[in-house]
Structure 1
Amino acid sequence: MNVVHVPVLVEEVLEFFKHIEGVFLDCTVGLGGHAEAILSRIPNSVVVGLDVDEEALDLANKRLERFVFAGRAKLFKSSYVDAAKVLKELGFDRVDAILMDLGVSSMQLERAERGFSFNRDGPLDMRMDKQQTLTAYDVVNSWDEENLSRIIFEYGEEKRYARRIARFIVRNRPIHTTKQLVEVLARAIPNKHSRNRHFATKVFQAIRIAVNSELENLKRFLAQVPELLRPGGRIAIVSFHSLEDRIVKEFFRNEPRLKQLTKKPIRPNESEISSNPRARSAKLRVAERV
């Protein structure tokens, strides 16, 4: 399957990075869209790209082949939580800029076998790193009703029907596929046709966050940022839901070694949204190491 990857808010990111030269840490290199833009348009830049998704890394390596060959792109299968270890192995104590794009990639959503999408029937997987053991199947079929209700309430921000949804899931086990889960949710969620977005969105988000420990990993990485960034270096983070954005906002606000450069998050313009609907919920926040 050929997937066209369009990086989100790339012009806005480049605007904040345009006066920076040196080592850029791309924590979620994905299919390499942001990395390619940085390497192509920022002179004397080197990108260290990390991702836990081997499939994405393979595609990024192909996209960035000319930069890899020139020694300007260095890609590794690694969680950004372990960025300091990777950088140390490369001989870098600190970097000049950090980029994080916390969204699920088009490739992950389009491939039914990855199990991320409620629009495609596939196994309940949702692992960013296919080498890890915990899958969406385990969460859906093994976690007790209380824990399911908790993650749907907290991670899915489903305030009204979290307990009801968890109860329906437990009563209809085993659930093997994304289609089967959507069918259970269709029965569990009242007034689903009056919602602005697909009724399964929040539950799928909650399960994906739980499977990949997304919020915990984000917090663990942010705690390392002041030691990873050189003075004057910048960190840009693109988030796609309020839970991540809230964590980033609070960290930028309360960390004395960082100065916020975006009092409010930067959102994509109408032109970008029309050409790339996935950008609709994106928010960019940027801070500078002081």
Structure 2
Amino acid sequence: MKPQLEQDKRRVRTAIDRCKRELEQVRLSRATQRKDRKRAPVPNAAIVGYTNAGKSSLLRRLTGADVLIEDKLFATLDTTTRKIALPNKQPLLLTDTVGFVRKLPHRLVEAFNATLEEAALSDFLIHLLDASQPEVMEYYNTTMKVLAELGADAKRTLIAFNKIDKVGDSAALAGLRRHFPDAVFLSVHTGEGIEELVERMAEFVATGMVTREFLIPQSAGSLLAQLHRQARILETHYEGEFVRIVAVLPGRLAEACENLLKEAAAKNLIDPTFFTDKLIATG
């Protein structure tokens, strides 16, 4: 009996070590992808929640992405990010994350936290819950605890209850609606509530938008093209070798544009004094 127990322990340790190595590769891959996204900043939302809440199914429903969907613990280890266009044509990146669980083995906590960095770095969260589970409030509390450990518990969060088509107790569903009056109630399977979720996502993105006025060299064609792709241009005025643009755009993109212009000024590609006088924050 004892030799068998030792063999089982070794198998478990081997499996955990293999899982940790895979997660480290995931972490490195995600870090590379984040660097790529920073070059062309787009608002990002991370879908978080207890395991099997339907996060991967929701991502596929919203984006048409071919993502792994399994009723299995830790089926999603490597997070998946896809782009969608909201009703106002504003692009949004949606990221699926590993399912949260209670009492995660200590040796895996750090490794799994690495895969959840997307939640901490996103603009807002979509906290998906399985409304059909009797333990739904326990799952909610577990997810909030993990988010607190990641420093993401104060992040703007859109709460959504999935699988309402599977809830047999109407009183339980009514109780959730009372307790979470701002939540979206939906079914990924039937499509009910999906349109409302997308509208709420657009509202979340809109609250993260700012209005900025830039004076950009006409030679900075890639920056001008990026603004026309990802911002809502309100005004355009040509002034010699520069273009004055007033635009409504995501905060991340505004910051990136300002940094690029500041770098150009530091390299004397733009007169620093002229740049300081003319770059105006209006929102």
**Coarse TM-score class (shorter-chain normalised):** under 0.3
* Structure with the greater alpha carbon radius of gyration: 2
Scaled by the length of structure 2, the TM-score of the pair is 0.27
Scaled by the length of structure 1, the TM-score of the pair is 0.26
